[in-house]
Structure 1
Amino acid sequence: MDRSMMTAAVTMNQLQQGLDLIANNLANLNTNGYKSRSATFSSLLAQNMTRQPDETVNLGRLSPLGIRLGTGARVADTRLKMDQGSIRTTGRALDFALTQPDLFFTVSTTGQEGLATTTTGFTRDGAFYLQPDANNPRFLNLVTASGQFVLDENGNRIRIPGDYAEIHVDPTGEISYKTRGGQNVAVGRLGIVQILRPQLLKAQGNNVFVLPDLQALGLVVGDVIGPNIANQPVVQQRALESSNVDLSEEMTKMMTLERSYEFNARSLSVADDMLALINNLR
């Protein structure tokens, strides 16, 4: 294949991945606690073209000094942007917003095989709900919008009696409920962790992240999850964190990538026309 066609085709494929990333960000513009991703591009393998050192071979070839010929560009990295989204008041008792950008709620997620195996997931979406416990209908489990169990600081499910009158969460994440008789009963503390290396998190869907295979990376859990943040005021009840997607920034990136895609498509078309012209020479 002609080098110019190969360069354009490879680059167009990678630009499409960048456009897909922007489309995903825009689709989650109104998703609670969503963290946008940005792509960076780099050149693919390039070759240095030098003058022919042997004058008896390819005599007359005089390549310009220092010229480099590459085969297009690729998506080098996608980074999770951890900027804090704006916090909006909702007035709903089961809406919680984290006030620091590196913190996550812990939830229980199903294993990749879809079996009963579970693992700990992390989310910034604090829109929680109450769901009847399958084993004891008199109790309610605190769950996410997609039905995943919200965990406490010890990794256990958070359960509240179904006849509660009111739920309260203080700024440190301590949960309590008021009985019909007006008595306050402590339930536990929301499981909130600090992620030291958010770029290692893997998106699992439903606005939830999981840890990668740390052993394969030569890491332990302590390298990614920070120390206990108990007694720190990091939760705001009756409020939610908005997505941190910047609409104007995403639109600007999209127009830039679309323009680059157009240039490469035009390059591919011109190269094809030139090859057709050569093939039709008599």
Structure 2
Amino acid sequence: MQALKTAATGMSAQQMRVDVISNNLANMSTTGYNARRAEFADLHYRQLAKPGTVNASDGSVLPTGVQLGLGVRPSSVAMELAQGSLSQSGGDLDVAIEGEGYLEVTLPSGDAAYTRDGALKRTGDGLIVNSDGLQVAPGITIPDDTRSISINANGEIFGYFDGQIEAELLGQLTLVDFSNGKGLEAMGSSIFRETEASGPPIQGIPGEAGLGTIRQGYLEDSSVDAVREITDLIEAQRGYELNAKVITAADQMLSATAQVR
């Protein structure tokens, strides 16, 4: 009975949906995290009678035909590119991107990667890095004798030194954007990598060419909506139960057929 296999695909789909929801809820407090959504598509159809087939008995054309679906399959787990709310942290190297764009970091392999997690730090040598110690492009160093720093909306980093009235420009943060941000490959630790689907990186100055601006002393919260996630979780649970009911019903029907004398 095809219903057994069809319902099984439905249960697998709802299980995958729960897995995605659980990851979203687990990352409710992850800086710069974008919620994911599981998307599905129907499987092939058994064409018992194709639409438009000529009826052999009277020559009329069937308007709809008979097409039996074979279930559901996962089509993608898409990232929702929604801006999370900004929370004031007070850190002089904490930056939030208000709008489009990613900070570029350099992986240990030398390849470029991208993140919206602006909880930046500096090493013992004064180099600006992210929380995992990856260098933030374009490689800005803060001198040891810097009394304080200031980062404006355009990403310019200024340092204040003892005995100087005017601030000194230390470097310029840049942002990177993509034509299809949903096509980026997630690597964990809020780090993404370029793919053919995302397109090549488009680098620019914050506040220009459609890129967002920099807010010093703020961090971007996760964009996960807890109420929506719980609602989706209940819906997925009920969908799983209904598909299990279909398997039970199909099993009972097969049992009744086997007992026919």
Contact 1:18 1:75 in 2 (8 A): no
Partner in structure 1 of residue 60 of structure 2? none
Q: Distance in 2 between matches of 1:71 and 1:179?
A: 70
Partner in structure 2 of residue 205 of structure 1? 188
Runs of 4+ in 1 over 6 A off after TM superposition: 51-55
Contact 1:104 1:193 in 2 (8 A): yes
- Deviation sequence 1:200-247 (CA, Å, 0-9, x none): 1110110111111x3xx6x962xxx33523564700100111111111
1:78 Cα shift? Answer: 2.4
SS of the residue 2:145 aligns to: coil
Q: Distance in 1 between matches of 2:199 and 2:222?
A: 30
SS of the residue 2:5 aligns to: helix
Contact 1:104 1:195 in 2 (8 A): no
1:272 Cα shift? Answer: 2.5
Q: Letter of the aligned partner of 2:101 in structure 1?
A: L
Contact 1:194 1:229 in 2 (8 A): no
Which of 135, 150, 158 lines up with 1:168 in the alignment?
Answer: 150
Partner in structure 1 of residue 129 of structure 2? 143
Name the count of aligned residue pairs: 250
- Deviation sequence 1:142-164 (CA, Å, 0-9, x none): 12112222112xxxx22222332
SS of the residue 1:12 aligns to: helix
Any residues of structure 2 matched to 1:223-262 within 5 Å, and which? Answer: 225-226=201-202, 228-229=204-205, 232=208, 234-262=213-241
SS of the residue 1:69 aligns to: strand
Partner in structure 2 of residue 9 of structure 1? 8
1:82 to 1:65, Cα distance in 2 relative to 1, 3 A: closer
What is the aligned-residue RMSD (CA, Å)? 2.6
Partner in structure 1 of residue 26 of structure 2? 27
1:141 Cα shift? Answer: 1.9
1:76 to 1:182, Cα distance in 2 relative to 1, 3 A: same
Q: Distance in 2 between matches of 1:277 and 1:53?
A: 36
Q: Identity over aligned residues, as a percent?
A: 31
Q: Which runs of 5+ in 1 are unaligned?
A: 56-63, 111-116, 133-138
Q: Distance in 2 between matches of 1:230 and 1:127?
A: 17
Q: Letter of the aligned partner of 1:163 in structure 2?
A: D
Q: Distance in 2 between matches of 1:264 and 1:192?
A: 46
Q: Distance in 2 between matches of 1:82 and 1:24?
A: 16
Is 1:192 the counterpart of 2:162 in the alignment? no
Q: Letter of the aligned partner of 1:200 in structure 2?
A: G
What is the TM-score normalised by the length of structure 2?
A: 0.86
Is 1:269 the counterpart of 2:248 in the alignment? yes
Q: Distance in 1 between matches of 2:241 and 2:184?
A: 33
SS of the residue 1:22 aligns to: helix
Q: Distance in 2 between matches of 1:229 and 1:12?
A: 47
Contact 2:175 2:203 in 1 (8 A): no
Contact 2:153 2:206 in 1 (8 A): no
- Deviation sequence 1:12-58 (CA, Å, 0-9, x none): 11221111111111111111111111122221111221299999xxx
Q: Which runs of 5+ in 2 are unaligned?
A: 57-62
What is the TM-score normalised by the length of structure 1?
A: 0.80
Partner in structure 2 of residue 135 of structure 1? none
